[in-house]
Amino acid sequence: MFSLDRLDAALLGELTRNPRAGIVDLSAKLGVARNTVQSRIRKLEESGAVTGYRPVVDLPKLGVPLQAFIGAELVQARMGHVIAQLGRFPEVLEVHATTGREDLLIRMAAQSQEDLLLVLERIHAIEGVAHTTTTLALTTPIAYRTQPLVEHITRDAGHGRSSSPGQP
């Protein structure tokens, strides 16, 4: 597990707001040397804490306004098969294995209700899918985010790697 401090949290915040920010800009905003920023980014990437830099895509502006969450009950011996098949659907954005009645939570997007129905029919046709429940998202008042949690878990951490808990 990678241990974050407040500088890492601030750096992640800046990169979240602007993944294309340059080292010089990040250095100026954070008030640290360029080498420090480069070193921290490299360590975050090498540890796997940062896995990439992606654009935030507004699907409705691309003509894909519907999002749905599908809870799927499966025949357990077929979970791997079902997940592999779902990975072939371009409309499937995420698949989570879950506890409870449903085994998978599938987040998908569609251009229309008709397209949603077609995708649901294809999901039902996958061998191993026993039952589904579909919930349409009306709005997304809080989009996927990580920065508040990063700030929360680092609030008591020092500003720099030499700090340890309990030391000034």
Does 152 map to a domain? Answer: no
Encode 8-20: b = buried (16+ Cβ within 10 Å), e = exposed: bbbbbbbbeeeee
Question: What total number of domains does the chain contain?
Answer: 2
Which residue segment(s) compose the domain that 37 sits in?
6-55
45 and 84 belong to one structural domain: no
63 and 133 belong to one structural domain: yes
pLDDT tens for the chain, residues 1 to 168: 778 899 999 999 999 889 999 999 999 999 999 999 999 999 999 999 999 988 889 999 999 999 999 999 999 899 999 999 999 999 999 999 999 999 999 999 999 999 999 999 999 999 999 999 999 999 999 999 998 998 888 877 666 544 344 443
Q: CATH number of the domain at 15, please.
A: 1.10.10.10
Encode 102-120: b = buried (16+ Cβ within 10 Å), e = exposed: bbbbbbbbbeeeeebeebb
The SS3 of residue 35 is helix
Q: CATH number of the domain at 97, please.
A: 3.30.70.920
Does 44 map to a domain? Answer: yes
Rounded CA gap, 59 and 160, in Å? 39
